[in-house]
Structure 1
Amino acid sequence: MLRLLWNLSIRVRLFLRTYMPTNILLNALRTRRGLKWGVPAMLIAAPYLLGAWLLTVWIADGGPGWLNLLVLLFIWNALKFLVNGPITMIVLIRARVAERRDRRLAERESTGYAISEDAPLLISSRA
């Protein structure tokens, strides 16, 4: 039974990541090219929160109760974008630091100033 539930949850997650628009966009934002758009994509949360507010007003004025599900969906999508922004910023900073480190290492190797571990350190007697 546990195996069946596990497999079902895997299939549902795969379906949601493949076909739901917000998940497709979040997957694109998690790529190296998309990381720079993570913080501006946080603004997408604003229309979702506005939509959730409008739906709650409609529900309070006598609208159908099933709209509460849409309110939850809108709030969930807004939270996904709000949380993803800082995460992509941190990942982007880490990627740029790693790229800069690799670029500097490549420049040192190309100029012949590569430091090997077994080479003795030369310390100048000048102070």
Structure 2
Amino acid sequence: MIRLLWALSAHTRYYLRRYMPTNIALDAIRTRRGLKWGIPAMLLAVPYFLAANYCITLIEDGGPGWLNLLVLLFCWNALKFLIMGPVSVVLLIRARVQEAVERRRTRRMNEAQSVEYPMASVA
């Protein structure tokens, strides 16, 4: 029984990760090229919060109860984008530091090789 639940949750996670638009966007932001878009992506939280607010207004005016699920979904997606902004900044800083260290290491190795073999650079 637990194995069945585990497999079902794994397949559900795979499906949501692969096909839901917000997850696709967040995965694109987590790439090295997409890290610069983390802060602007935080602005996508605004329409989600507005949609949640609109659904809450409809519910309070006697709308159907299933709109509560949409409110939950809109708030969840908005929070994902809000959190991704600062996370992408941290990831971008970490990537730039690693790239700088790698460039420095490569430069030192090239300088050490040119010192060992001074005639190799002339030829």
Tell me whether the two structures share a fold, i.e. TM-score over 0.5.
yes
Letter in 1 for 2:82: L
Letter in 1 for 2:27: N
Residue matched to 1:76: 76
Residue matched to 2:60: 60
Residue matched to 2:118: none
Q: 2:6 & 2:89 partners in 1: Cα distance?
A: 32
Residue matched to 2:30: 30
Residue matched to 1:107: 107
Percent identity of paired positions between Structure 1 and Structure 2: 61
Count of residue pairs brought into register by the alignment:
114
CA deviation string 1:17-51 (max 9, x = no partner):
01100011011111111111111101100100011
Question: 4+ residue runs of structure 1 moved beyond 2 angstroms?
Answer: none
Report 1:16-27 matches (<5 A): 16-27=16-27
Q: Aligned to 1:63, what secondary structure does the other structure show?
A: coil
More helix by share: 2
TM value normalised by structure 2: 0.88
Structure 1 residue runs of 5 or longer lacking an equivalent are: 115-127
CA RMSD of aligned residues (A): 1.4
CA deviation string 1:63-116 (max 9, x = no partner):
1111111010000000111111111111110010000010011111112289xx
Structure 2 residue runs of 5 or longer lacking an equivalent are: 115-123
